[in-house]
Amino acid sequence: MFHGVQGEYRWLETAAHEVYDVLQVCPTVAANKNVVITSFDSYPLQPTSEEMQRGWRTSGRSLHIPVSGNISAIPFEVFDEWYIFTTDSPERDYKVFVKHDWFTLGPAQTIYSRTGNAFDLKRMQRWFWQELEECNPESYLGRGTRLKFVSRNPEYFNTVLRGLSSLARIRAKSAKAPA
């Protein structure tokens, strides 16, 4: 896991965790918020009529969900991308970053792949931070090949960082335990 700061946002990235892990260690990241899902295992979500009555709506490729205190109502899969707002989520065409498996928030020299290079990565990172500045979510949560959690709420960030670190230690101990 590595982490850093960009402007008012703190971020972390790890291949060892899932979206569910973030919600498990800090449910307040999404509880009573407005979540915009821009990617859901490579296909768009279509809300049911019951979900539409609860305020869910689609806008372009995105699904906007007003989340109650019950975060289990949020649909999530392996490859997800969420923009999380404390107020109404803006209607806009959100950029999708999780579909680029080589995308990382870390230093460009840490990752090279067949599909991306350092120049592409730096440009994509610039677009990512511009997207956050423009739409101004409280938090961003994305899981492609690696989990990315970004928040301008320092309390949430610290809770997630500590919680994911603890989960990793627990998992490592249980993996070493004799059967």
Q: Which residues pair with 139 in a beta bridge?
A: 84, 151
Sequence spans of domains, the chain: 2-176
CA–CA separation, 129 and 52 (whole Å): 31
Give the residue ranges of the chain where pLDDT is below 70. 41-44, 77-79, 108-119, 177, 179
pLDDT for 110 equals: 46
CA–CA separation, 81 and 143 (whole Å): 6
pLDDT for 47 equals: 85
CA–CA separation, 98 and 146 (whole Å): 9
On average, the pLDDT of the chain sits at 86
pLDDT for 80 equals: 85
* Sign of the C-alpha dihedral computed for residues 102, 108, 112 and 117 taken in this order: positive
